[in-house]
Amino acid sequence: MPSLKDVKVKINGVKKTKQITKAMNMVASAKLRNAQNRIERFRPYAEKFYEMLGDLAAGADPSVHPLLETREEVKTVGILVATSDRGLCGSFNTNINQAARKLAEEKKAEGKAVKLYCVGKKGRDFFRRRGYDIALAFGDKMNSFDFSLANQLGLEVIGAYMRGELDEVHLVFGEFISVARQVPRTLGILPMQGSAEKGDDSGNKAEYIYEPSVEGLLAELLPRFIKVQIYRGLLDTSCSEHAARMASMDNATRNCDDMIGALTLQYNKARQAAITKELMDIVGGAEALKG
C-alpha cells in the first residue's frame, strides 16, 4: 500500500500531464483550423487547374509527352512519403510509414530498386533506421510550408524521372477524410495516368485559341500537375496530423481524468485507513491506562 504522500505526489503529477495534453489539444485544434483554411484556399486553384487540363487533354494526343508514357521496364521506383515532424499524434505517422514500407517491399520483391523522398522527420527517421535508400529528406518543414516546397519536390522527382533515374513515382500521404478519420493513401503520380481526372464535357465551349500550341501548353501544364498533386498531399498530411493529434490528446486528457479519479479514491481510502488506525491506537491507549 503506497503511503498517503506518494499518492498525493502521483495525483499532482497526473494533473500536470493533463494540463499539458489539454493545451496540446487546443493548439492542435487551432492548427487544424488553419490547415483546413489552407486547403480551402487551394481548392479554387486546383479545380480550375483540373478543368484546364481536362479541356486540353480532350483536344490533344496525350501520348506525345514523356511524362504520360508508361515505361516498359521499370527498374527504379521513387516513393515520396509525407509525414509529420512531431509525434504524439497516435498511430498517424506509423500508419503512413507502414503503408510506404509495404509498397517499398512489394516493389523490392519484384526486383526493383526503391528510392525514397521523405518530407517530415518521422518518415525520414523511420526509413533511415531501417537502412532504406533515401534520395532526399526534408525535416522541420511541415510546420510552415508553402507551394515552393511542393515545387522543389516536384522539380526533383521530375528531373530524376526525365534523366531515367526513376521509372515510377508514388506518393504516400495521410488523406484527410474528416476530423475523426485519416487514412494513409498511396497515389501513383508518375507516369501520369492519362485523362484520369477529366472534367465533364458538358460545357462544350467554343474553340479556344491556344498559345503556344496545345502540345506546348500540355508540356507546361503536366509538370505543374505533379506539383499540384504533391502540394495536395502535403496539405492533407498536415491537416491529418493536427486532427490525429487532437484526437489522441483528447483521449489522453480523458485518461488523465480516469487516473485522477482512481488515484483520489485510493488516496481517500488510505487516509481513512490511517485515521481508523490512529483512533484504534488512542482507544487502545486509553483502555490500557484505565486498567
Partner 1 sequence: MAQINLEIVTPDRKVLSQPVDYVGAPGIEGEFGIMANHVPFLSALGVGNLYYKENGKYFYVFVAGGFAEVSNNKVTVLAEVAEKAAEIDVERARRSQERAEERMRQQKEKLDFARAQAALQRSMARMRCRSSAESAGTCAL
Number of residues that bind partner 1 (CB under 8 A): 31
56 binds partner 1 (CB under 8 A): yes
Q: For CA atoms 43, 48, 54, 57, give the dihedral sign.
A: negative
**Phi, psi dihedral angles at 76 (to 5 degrees):** -125, 135
228 binds partner 1 (CB under 8 A): yes
Other CB atoms within 10 Å distance of the CB of residue 89: 24
Binding positions for partner 1, 120-159, rule CB under 8 A: 146-147, 150-151
Buried b / exposed e over 27-59, threshold 16 CB at 10 Å, is ebbebbeebbebeeeeeeebeeeeeebbbbbee
Whose grid coordinates read 484556399?
41
**CA neighbours within 13 Å on the CB side: how many for 200?**
2
DSSP character string of 75-106: -EEEEEEE--S---STTHHHHHHHHHHHHHHH
280 binds partner 1 (CB under 8 A): no
Task: Give CA–CA dist 32/29, Å, rounded.
Answer: 5
- The nearer residue to partner 1, 196 or 209, going by C-beta atoms, is 209
172 binds partner 1 (CB under 8 A): no
Instruction: Give the one residue of 15, 16, 33, 41 binding partner 1; rule: CB under 8 A.
Output: 41
- The nearer residue to partner 1, 44 or 291, going by C-beta atoms, is 44
Catalytic residue among 89, 118, 239, 256: 89
What is the distance, to the nearest Å, from the Cα of residue 209 to the centroid of all Cα atoms in its chain?
42
Residue 86: CB minimum distance to partner 1, A:
23
Cα distances (angstroms) measured from residue 225 to each of 47, 67, 107, 150, 168: 12, 11, 25, 11, 16
198 binds partner 1 (CB under 8 A): no
255 binds partner 1 (CB under 8 A): no
Segment lying near partner 1 (by CB under 8 A), choices 28-36, 194-202, 204-212, 270-278: 204-212
Instruction: Give the one residue of 16, 48, 254, 269 binding partner 1; rule: CB under 8 A.
Output: 48
Instruction: Give the one residue of 11, 221, 259, 260 binding partner 1; rule: CB under 8 A.
Output: 221
Segment lying near partner 1 (by CB under 8 A), choices 14-22, 27-35, 74-82, 207-215: 207-215
- With left for phi above 0 and alpha for psi between -120 and 50, is residue 203 left, alpha or beta? alpha
**Residue 89 bears catalytic tag:** yes
What is the distance, to the nearest Å, from the Cα of residue 253 to the centroid of all Cα atoms in its chain?
22
220 binds partner 1 (CB under 8 A): yes
- The nearer residue to partner 1, 7 or 171, going by C-beta atoms, is 171
Bridge partners, residue 79, by sequence: 116, 170
13 binds partner 1 (CB under 8 A): no
Segment lying near partner 1 (by CB under 8 A), choices 39-47, 97-105, 133-141, 193-201: 39-47
Cβ neighbours of residue 144 under 8 Å, at least 6 residues apart?
Answer: none
Segment lying near partner 1 (by CB under 8 A), choices 81-89, 166-174, 187-195, 219-227: 219-227
Q: For CA atoms 58, 61, 65, 70, give the dihedral sign.
A: positive
20 binds partner 1 (CB under 8 A): no
Instruction: Give the one residue of 5, 163, 205, 290 binding partner 1; rule: CB under 8 A.
Output: 205
Site of interaction with partner 1 (CB under 8 A):
38, 41-42, 44-46, 48-49, 52, 55-56, 146-147, 150-151, 205-212, 216-217, 220-221, 224, 227-228, 231
List residues with catalytic annotation: 89
